[in-house]
Amino acid sequence: MLQLDFGFGPLEAEFWRLVFVMTRVGAAMVAAPLFGMAGVPAQARVMAAGAVAVLICAWSPVTGPANLLSVAGLVSVAGEVLVGVSLGFVLQFAFAAPIIAAEMIGGAMGMSVATAVDPNSGSQSPALGQYFTVVVTLIFLALGGHLQWIALVIDSYRVFPPGETWLGQERFAEIAGFAGTMFVTAVAIALPVSLVLLVVQVVTGVLSRSAPALNLFSLGLPAGVLAGIAGLLVAAPVLTDQATLLTADALAAVAKVLER
Q: Is residue 159 in a domain?
A: yes
Q: Is residue 182 in a domain?
A: yes
Q: Is residue 27 in a domain?
A: yes
Residues 190, 221, 110, 182: what is their CA dihedral angle, to the nearest 10 degrees?
0
pLDDT category at 2 given cuts 50, 70, 90 is very low
Which residues in the chain belong to E strands, given as ranges? 115-117, 124-126
Q: Mean pLDDT across the stretch 141-147? A: 87
Q: Which residues, at least 6 apart from 130, have a Cβ–Cβ distance to it below 8 Å?
A: 116, 118
Phi-psi region of 200 (alpha: psi -120 to 50; beta: other; left: phi over 0): alpha
Domain count, the chain: 1
Range(s) of the domain holding residue 174: 10-257
Residue 122 phi/psi, 5-degree rounding, is 80, 0
> pLDDT digit string (tens) for 94-136?
888 888 888 888 777 766 665 655 555 556 666 777 788 888 8
115-117 and 124-126 as β-strands: parallel, antiparallel, unpaired? antiparallel
> pLDDT digit string (tens) for 29-81?
888 887 777 677 778 888 888 888 888 888 877 777 777 677 777 888 888 88
Phi-psi region of 4 (alpha: psi -120 to 50; beta: other; left: phi over 0): beta
Q: Is residue 183 in a domain?
A: yes
Q: Is residue 2 in a domain?
A: no
Cα–Cα nearest to 200, from 113, 114, 109, 100:
109
Cα–Cα nearest to 157, from 48, 45, 58:
58
Q: Is residue 145 in a domain?
A: yes
Q: Which residues, at least 6 apart from 183, have a Cβ–Cβ distance to it below 8 Å?
A: 97, 100
On whether the CB atoms of residues 93 and 179 are closer than 8 A, the answer is: yes
- Decide which of 184 and 14 is more confident: 184
Q: Is residue 220 in a domain?
A: yes
Burial of 159 from C-beta contacts in 10 A (0-12 / 13-18 / 19+):
middle
Cα–Cα nearest to 101, from 183, 201, 200, 198:
183
Q: Is residue 1 in a domain?
A: no
